[in-house]
Each structure stands twice: as structure tokens, then as C-alpha cells.
Amino acid sequence: MPKRESSVVGREFGNGVRAAIERTGLTQRRLAELLGWQEAKISDLLAGKGGVTKEEVIALLAYCRTTAEERERLVALFLESGEKGWLQFPEDGVPDQVHTFIEHEKKAKKIIAWSPTLVPGVLQIPEYVQVVTEASPVIEADDVPAVTAARSVRAKILDGTRQFVFYVHEFALRLQVGGPEVWREQLAHLLRVSVRTYVSIRIIPASAGMHAGTSGGFYVMEFPKYPTVVYLETLNRCLFLDDAETVKVYDTTLKHLAAVALESGSPGEFHPWAPTDPGVTVSRHRALVTLVTRRAGPKLPRSSARTCGGVAA
């Protein structure tokens, strides 16, 4: 198989082979000598770039003494590595907890997310996460605490080592997940996060009507060394797409979303919409807090209001 650009499934294959090699205690150089290969050939294989045949893969795995089950899985990944896209079937039925997705999030230099129905996952507070998890038809009640904890941990990637752009529909912010108290704290959290210089939150207002993003939410992850990856998920499946033609389609969709999103200023600024009640006019940081207090009853505690973008409600 000729060498190619690294792909998602190719990297998954490479990671599996790397783990098998590490268990042998052999260095990549020594293994290359045993196989009669150049060391660069193994490096390309581990990076998901191909450059080997199925027979050579089997020979390498034989030296690693992999089990029949592991060998079958890795060979299957190798054969898929030249395809456009990769559909994964999570064993626990929870797409956003797939190891492949989480690892790609960590390696991305920029993440752009479009979320039409809920607050984006990495921006969700634990209480919000729990309610969303409890409502899932594919997660058993006994598994809710563990899945909630795992999902909440994903928020740690908001650490300034990468850039984030979140497109969120107005309806996603108006949806009272977990009731008024959880909802208000979730919106207050968005305001606190929005002042970070590496986070941009753009709102698609209901007044935009029909727009390019109505087909569903998605993630776009850009990397220093790999081609851009588009990630989509259903209730119990997830799909990785990294061919140039598909990535261009989603890039165009993001440009259309940017065109209808409310104006944003410099990175880190959050510009919520003005409340839809006629005659109500509020400043940008106060807008979301005003929406919360008008829709959810009692005002936010002063301590929360003071931390919402540095502006008192």
C-alpha cells in the first residue's frame, strides 16, 4: 500500500501497533532490523501513513505476538485506513466517550463546534451534564454517574493550549435543562468562560430562520500535523471524516453560520442577543443575565452576577 496522508483510522491502527510493539520491549529500530525494514517504514506505519502491505502488517504483528483477536482488529483497521471516513460503533453506546475522539480533542490546535440543540459538551457544567446523560436512551441508569463524570472531565481541555470557536443556536441556550437553577448557572458559566482569550462563543439567533446548520451539529478539529477532521455523532454511533472534499463542505457551512451569527468582537468576548421581549435593550454582557432573570424567576446571586464576564447583572 502506498504512503498517504495520515487519517483518523490510520492513526487508530498505528496506536494499536505501537501498543503491541511496546509490550514486546523491542525498540522500533530493533524490530525494523528483524523485519528487514528501514526504521522510517515503521515510523510511517505508526503515524497512520501506510506504506506497507497486509502481509507485512501480519508479519509485524507476529513478531509482537499479538492475540488472534487483536491481530484481527488491527488488520481490519489497516484495511479500512485508505477509506474516506470512519464509522465507529462504541461498545458502551456513548459516542462522545470514544477514546479516539477524546485523543483527537487533546491533540487539536483549534476546535470549532456547531451546537443547535444543547450547550456544547465541553462547556457544560456537571449538573447540566448529568441531566443530559440521564435523558439518553442508550445509557443505563447504573452507568449515569460514571458517564457523567467522564463527560465532565472533558472540560479540562479548555486550558489555553488550543483555540475554540463555538456556534450555538439561541434555542440551545433557552432550553431549561435541569430546571431554572441549573439553567441559570449554566448560562453564568458560559459568561465566565467567554472572557478567556482563546474562547469565542457565537450565537445563531432564532430570527435567522432557516440557515446552513439545520442538518445537525458537528465538530471540526484542526491539527498541527494532521489533516482537519470533522466529527459527527448519533445516539450510539460516531463518524470521523477527513477527506478534503467533505471537510470543505463543513468549512463552507461554518462560513454561512458566521454570516448569520450575531456580531462578535475580539477573542474572549461573548455577545449574546438582546432579549426578544419588545422594548428591552441591554448591553452585551448583561443581555444573557437579563434573559436568565426574566425567564427563570429570582435573580442570580450577586456573587454569580459579579463573575459573569466581569459585569454585574
DSSP sequence for 197-264: TTEEEEEE-GGG-S-TTTT--EEEEE-SSS--EEEEE-SS-EEEE--HHHHHHHHHHHHHHHHHSPP-
pTM equals 0.77
Confidence of residue 244 (pLDDT cuts 50, 70, 90): very high
Q: With CA atoms as reference, report the closest residue to 57 among 98, 13, 102, 112.
A: 13
Report residue 24 CA to chain centroid gap: 33
Lookup result for grid cell 462547556: 123
Lookup result for grid cell 501497533: 17
Average pLDDT score over the chain:
82
What is the tens place of the pLDDT at every residue in 84-98?
788 888 776 676 667
**What local confidence, expressed as pLDDT, does residue 266 receive?**
40
Evaluate the CA torsion angle 240, 230, 119, 169 in order and state its sign.
negative
Residue ranges in the chain assigned as alpha helix (H): 8-24, 28-35, 39-46, 54-63, 68-80, 99-107, 126-134, 144-153, 170-174, 179-194, 244-260, 284-296, 302-307
Is 186 within 8 Å of 177 (Cβ atoms)?
Answer: yes
pLDDT at 253 over 50: yes
Q: With CA atoms as reference, report the closest residue to 78 among 97, 98, 59, 103.
A: 59
Q: Give the bridge partners for 233, in sequence order.
A: 238
- What is the arithmetic mean of pLDDT over 232-245? 90
Confidence of residue 3 (pLDDT cuts 50, 70, 90): low
